[in-house]
Structure 1
Amino acid sequence: MSSSVYEDVTERLAQALVGADPGAWAELDGQIRGLVRWGGLVPAPGEWLSATPPRQPTVLELALALCDPDGRAREAALPYAAHTPALLPLVVVRCADWAEPVRDRARALLCAQLPGLAPEALASVASVVLREGRRLRGEAARELLTARLREVPEAHLAPLLTSEERELRRLAHRIAVERDLLSPARLATIAATHLDVVVQDMCASAAITAAGDTVDETVLAPLLGSRSGRVRAAGVTALRRAGRAAEAEPFLYDRSALVRACARWTLRQAGTDPLPLYRAACAAGDPTPFFAPVGLAECGDRVADAPVLWSLTGHELPRVRAGAVVGLRLLDAVRFPRLVPLLDDSSPRVVRETLKALAPWDDHLLAGTPPPAPPPVPVGVPVDAPVPQPRSWVRRVLGIARRRGADQG
C-alpha cells in the first residue's frame, strides 16, 4: 500500500470514528472496496487472517478486512469485530451485505453486541442502523435495534429523544410512547415545543390518549398555546373530552384553517352552531377578529353572508380586509369590477389576496369591453407570420399589479 493511499484511508477511518455523520461508514466501505478492486492496496487487506498463530488485528487492519471485496474475507473478519466496539458501525453495514453468509453472521454479532452498549455508543450505532436500514436488505438491522430499544432502561432511551438525527429522534419518541415512559403533561409539552412535526403529532395524540377522560390543564394548556396549528387543533378537539367544549369558541378565529374546523366540530358536538357566532363577530365593528371573515366563508352561505364580507373589504384593519377577500373567494362571490380597486390597497397582504381572488379572470375580457385591436404588423415581417395575441384588459391590470408588488417587495 502506498503511503499516500494508506494516509488517506487512515484519515477517512479517523473521521468516521470521531465524526457524527452516520453515512461516513458506508462511504468508507465504498472507498476501500474501490482501492482493493483496482489494486490500490498492497498487500491485500485480509492477509493477517491467515497469520500463524492468529492475532488480534489493529483497528485499521480490521476495518480494511471488513470492507474487502471478497465476501469470504469479510465473513472471516466479523468475529474479530466483537473485540473492537469502535468498528460496530461497519458490522451494521455488513448486515445489509449482498452475501447471505456475511449478512447472517453480521446480524448475529449485532444482536449480541447491542445489549452491552453504553448510551453514547448506542446512539452512535443506532444512527448508522437507521441510515443503513434504507438500503436493500437493511431492514433486519433496524428490527434488531427497535427490539433492543423496547428493552433498554429509560436512562438509555432518554438521550435518544434529543438526538441530532431526525429519524432516531422519531423512533425514540415512538418507543417511549409505546412503553408509556412519558407522562401526559410531558408529552403535551414536547408536542407544543418540538420542531419536528412528526414528533408533534405523535406526542399530541399520545398525550390526549394517555390522559383519557381526565384531560386537565397540564395537558390542555401546552397544546392550546402551541405555535403549531396541528397541535392546537388536537388541543381544541380534546376540549370536548374534558367537558369544556364552550372554550373552543375563541379558536373559531384562529389563523389555522385546521384549528377553525376543529373548533366548529367541537362546538357542534356540544350543540352550538358556530355560524351565528361568526356572523356576530363580523358585525361587531372594530373588534372584528382577523380571521372571522374567513371562518364565516368556510361555513356560511353566499347569498346571506357575501354582503357582510363585501362591507369588510373597507375595514380599517388590513388583516380583516384581506380576510374578507379570502372569504369572498371561498364563497365564489368575487365580482371583478368591484374588487379591482383593492389592487391599490396600502397593504401588501390585501393586494396578494386580491390577485389570488382575481386570478380566474386572468384571461377574460371585462364585460362590455370591446376586444382590443390587433397590433400592426412590423415592416419586413411576412403577412402570414404568427402574430402574438393581445392580452386582455384584466390580464394587463393583474400584470401591472404583480410588477408593482414585486417592486415594493
Structure 2
Amino acid sequence: MWSAAEDESWGRNAAAGLLEGHESPAAALLAGNGPDAWTGFDREVRRLLRCRPTPEGGGRLEARLCHPDGRVRMAALAAWRNPPLELLVIRCADWVPQVRDRARRVLGRAVARHPVRNRDRARRALNRPVADDPARVLTALVPLALRLAGREHGGWAVEQLEAALSGRYSLLAAWWRPGLPSTTWSRNSLTAAQREAMLERLAGSADRPTRRFAARVAVACGQYGTRELARRAAAEGDPVTARTWTDAALAAMAAGGPDDRAVDILLGSRSAPVRAAGVTALRRAGRAAEAADHLADRAGQVRACARWLLRQDGGDPYAHYRGLVTDRQRVTRYAVAGFREVAGRADGPLLRALLDHPEGPVRATALAGLRGLGLVVEDAVLLGMLEDPSASVSREAALGLLGVAERLDSAALADRTGPEWPPHTRRAAFRLLRGRGGSAELRACVAMMTDPDPVLGLYARSTVLDWNWLSTLGEGEAHQAELGALLARAAQVLDVRRLRLL
C-alpha cells in the first residue's frame, strides 16, 4: 500500500496528464490508489485551471467537476453523464451549497443504479456476489469519505454510510432526498447480509481510518458477540481500533456476565492494552488468583494491572516479585523490571546479585534497576561490563558511566573502539568518549570518520563537521601541532569548506 504522499503525487500527475489531453479517464489513471490520490487530483486540476483557463483537456467531465468556478462544476453535475463516484463524493463536501446539494442527489442516484441488470438483481436476491453490487461500490468509497469528514461540509457522506450500515435508513432508497429516512422500500436497498459483508470488508481494510470506522459502526449495531469482539481486539494491530473492540468486549461481559473464553482470548493478545484489559477482566470472572501469572509480563501496563488486581485480592506483589528475583531459575528480565517498579533502595543487594546472571537481558535490566533507584555501581564494575557479550548490558553500562565520563581514562576507552572489539562495545566506548567532550572526543571522532560501522562513522563525521577548532585551540585542550594533524586527517575525508574553523 502506497503512502499518502505517494498517492497525492500520483493524483497530481494524473491531473496534469488529463489536462494535457491524455485520453485515459481519471478512474483508470487512479485505479488502485488511495483516497489521497483523488483529493490530490481535485486540488491539482483546480490549481492548473486557474493558471491555464483553457487547457486541451479542460472540457473533460473530470476536469469540469474539479473546476474552480462553481457554475462549471454545477453544470457538470447537471449533465448526469455517469461521473466518477470518487469525484462525486468530493463534490458532496463542496463549499458551494448548490454544488453540494446537487452532488449529493447525483451520488445517491449513481449508487442506486447498481446493479442495473435483471439477472444481477436476481443474483443479489439470492445473496450471490454481483460485479457492481452497491455494497461493493459503497465499500470502495468509505476511505475517501472518511478523509473528507474533516472538512466543513464533509461529514455528510460518513453520516449516510453509518446510517446505511446500521439499517436506520437506506441512502440508496432515498437518493432523491439524501439524508432523510426512506419512506418506501427499494430493491436497491442494502440487505442485512450485504451490510454484514460490507462491514467485514471494511474491518479487513489496510486503511486504518476505515478499520476504525468499521469497528465503531459494528459495535454500535451490536454486530458481534462477546467472544468475537475479544477475538477482533486480540488480532487488531491498530491501537485505536483494538481499543474499540476491547471496550465493547468488556461492556458485553459486564452486561451479560463473564466469559472465560473471551478473557483468555484477551490475555493471549500481542497488544499490551488488550492484555491489560484481560487482566482487569479476571476479577469479574472470579479468577483474581491468576493475577500473579501476569506480574512478569513484558509490558509495564499489564504488570501494573496485575499488581492492582493482586492487591484487590489481598495479595502482596512485592513478595511475589521477591520470590521471582531470588530464584535464578525462574527470574526473567520482565520479572526484574516489575521488581524494580515496587522495590526501594534497600533492595539494591538483590539487584546486584543479578549482575552475574547467565542471561544477558536479566543483567541489563538489573543494571537499569540499580540506576533507576539511584544506587551507585563502581566505575571498575561498569567498565568491565562494557565488554559484556550482551549488547543490552554494554548499553546500560555506558548509560551508568555517562555522568562521570570526565573522570574515565580516555586512552582505555579509545582502545575499546578498536576493530577487534564487538560493535556494541565499540559503540559504548565511543559514546563515553563523546560524553567526555574536548580533545578526547575530537580525537575519537577523527579516528572513526571512515569506520566500517555506519552508525559510528555517521556520528563521527557529523561531530567533526560541527567542531569549533579555534575554540579548542584557545582553551588549550590540545597543542597546535596535534590540532593541525587532526584537521589534515579530517580534510582528507570531508570537504574542508564545510568544516567549522571559526
Fold shared, TM-score > 0.5 on shorter chain = yes
1:3-402 matches, cutoff 5 A: 5=19, 7-8=21-22, 10-16=24-30, 18-37=31-50, 38-41=52-55, 45=59, 61-81=60-80, 84=82, 87-110=84-107, 118-151=134-167, 153-212=195-254, 214-303=257-346, 305-337=347-379, 338-362=381-405, 386-387=474-475
Partners of 2:476 and 2:161 in 1: how far apart?
A: 64
Contact kept in structure 2, 1:187 and 1:207, CA below 8 Å: yes
Q: Deviations over 1:291-330 (max 9, x none)?
A: 2221111011211x11100111111222221221122122
Identical aligned residues as a percent: 38
Change (3 A) 1:286 1:103: same
Distance 1:287 1:96, change over 3 A: same
| Matched residue type, 2:474 | P
Q: State how far apart, in whole Å, the 2-side matches of 1:161 and 1:270 are.
A: 38
CA contact (8 A) 2:49 2:67 kept: yes
Aligned equivalents of 2:470, 2:47: Cα separation in 1: 63
- Larger mean CA deviation between 196-205 and 165-174 belongs to 196-205
- Helix, strand or coil: the match of 1:8? coil
User: Relative CO higher for 1 or 2, CA cutoff 8 Å, sep ≥ 6?
Assistant: 1
**Structure 2: runs of 5+ lacking an equivalent:** 1-16, 115-133, 168-189, 410-435, 440-468, 479-502
- The TM-score with structure 1 as length reference comes to 0.77
Q: Contact 2:237–2:271 (CA<8 Å) still a contact in 1?
A: no
CA drift of 1:74 comes to 0.9
RMSD after superposition: 3.1
Q: Which runs of 5+ in 1 are unaligned?
A: 46-60, 367-371, 376-380, 391-409
C-alpha displacement of 1:250: 1.7
**Is contact 2:322-2:339 (8 Å) kept?**
yes
**1:340 and 1:111, CA in 2 relative to 1: closer, same or farther beyond 3 A?**
farther
Write the letter of the residue equivalent to 2:99.
Answer: V
SS in 2 for 1:272: coil
1:255 match: secondary structure: coil
Cα distance between partner residues in 2 of 1:382 and 1:220? 66
Return the alpha-carbon distance in structure 1 between the equivalents of residues 404 and 246 of structure 2.
43
The list of structure 1 runs, each at least 4 consecutive aligned residues, that deviate by more than 4 angstroms after superposition, is 3-7, 108-117, 362-366, 381-385
1:241–1:101 distance in 2 versus 1, CA, 3 Å: same
Deviates more, 1:337-346 or 1:160-169: 337-346
Q: TM-score if structure 2 supplies the norm length? A: 0.64
CA distance in 2, matches of 1:384, 1:193: 57
| Contact map agreement 2:355 2:366 (CA 8 A) in 1 | yes
